[in-house]
Amino acid sequence: MSRQQQVAEVFVEMADTLVDDFDIIDFLQKLSARCVELLDVSAAGILLADSHGDLQMIAASDENTRLLELFALQHDQGPCVDCYTQGVARLNIDLTSSAVARHWPLFVDRAGRSGYATTHALPLRLRQHVVGALNLFHTDRTTLGVEDAALAQALADIATIGILQQRTLEQTQTERTQLQAALTSRIVIEQAKGILAERLRTSPDHAFAAIRAHARTNHLRISELARQIVDGDVTGLSVVPGVA
């Protein structure tokens, strides 16, 4: 399949999810995975602002990246934090640069220990209203070309459309309700991942893959299944090959 066909397929896939009732966690998780595939990056993470305007971790392509993003939020450092605050993309950031290390000392140190050498941050925005940020990572010193940067922003824009499910800024209350519900669901999902990882003696990534697979097979929302796992009402989950 050509890259053009891959891009078309992803946008059709994303558009298919934009219905009245869809699983925003699964949507953003899928989008982070597609960013890795289409942009040839090593990892991707998505942060959203809650009802108070504070950034929260919502989706990541893998557990390593999720933990790095949480660290960035805890210490209020990193390209995603600046991208959200300033509302502009930050591309081709060399994490091995001494200047970057001086600007974000804690983040750069943690990113290096996580294996990343280059990062990019793009705003999730509706017109001039920024609701979060998309972070991309490379394990080597790789730059994002003009074409890939445009595609990355397009993916960030479709994520925003999926999050807000609206075309105007007048629906602010709907936006806040959707975002807060997603952030609350994520907390329960993280609890379920930990419980299942311990039960199956596997990694959080594989536990999450098992949750997603079971939810799809049984036509459940990921957040709904996660609540059932936390409450001890689910059996029969097993590790699936690979991580979706």
Is residue 172 predicted with pLDDT exceeding 80? no
At 203, list the tokens. Answer: 């990694």
At 94, list the tokens. Answer: 């060399």
Helices (H), the chain: 3-16, 24-39, 63-75, 79-86, 98-103, 105-113, 146-164, 172-200, 204-217, 222-230
pLDDT in tens, 149-171: 999 998 898 888 877 764 444 45
Rounded CA-CA distance 49/70 in Å is 13
pLDDT in tens, 72-101: 999 999 999 999 999 999 999 999 999 999
pLDDT of residue 167: 41
Give the architecture (CATH level 2) of 3-168: 2-Layer Sandwich (3.30)
Residue spans of the domains in the chain: they are 3-168, 183-230
3-state secondary structure 53-64: CCEEEEEECCHH
Q: What's the pTM value of the predicted model, to 2 decimals?
A: 0.73
183-230: CATH class: mainly alpha
**Average pLDDT estimate for 108-125:** 95
Burial of 203 (0-12, 13-18, 19+ CB in 10 A): middle
